[in-house]
Amino acid sequence: MPRSNFAIIISDFPVLILEVNSGNSEANRYRMMLQAACLVRMGNALRTTATLDYFVKAIYIDANYCATKYTLFQQGVGPHDVVTEVIILSIEEQGTI
C-alpha cells in the first residue's frame, strides 16, 4: 500500500491523508488523489450498512507551502458509480509570523 506523508486512521482505515510535494513534478498529488479515490471505493464496498457516507479528506502541500484540501466521496457502489471530488479548498499563505 502506498504510504502518505501523514494519515489519520480510524478503525484500521484511513480517513485523512496528507502529501507534501517532494520533487519538481506534481506526481505526488496525482498519486494521493488516486489513493484517496481507491480508499473511498474500498471503504464503501466494505461497509455493513446501506448508507454511503464514507468519505476521505486529502490535503496536498505544494512547493510554495500552499495547501489544497480535497473531499472525495462516492454516490453509489455500482460498477459505473465513480468517486466524486466535492470540495477543493486552497489555503494561501497568510503572511509570516
Q: What is the pLDDT of residue 17?
A: 93
d(CA 33, CA 21): 13
pLDDT-based confidence at residue 60 (cuts at 50, 70, 90)? very high
Residue 97 predicted with pLDDT over 50? no
Contacts for 1-6 with beta carbons within 8 Å, 24 or more apart? Answer: 2/31, 2/35, 4/32, 4/35
pLDDT tens, 4-57? 788 888 878 888 999 998 878 888 888 899 899 888 888 888 877 766 678 899
Taking CA atoms, 1 is separated from 39, 45, 75, in Å, by 11, 18, 25
> What are 31's three cell numbers?
498519486
pLDDT-based confidence at residue 58 (cuts at 50, 70, 90)? very high
pTM: 0.77
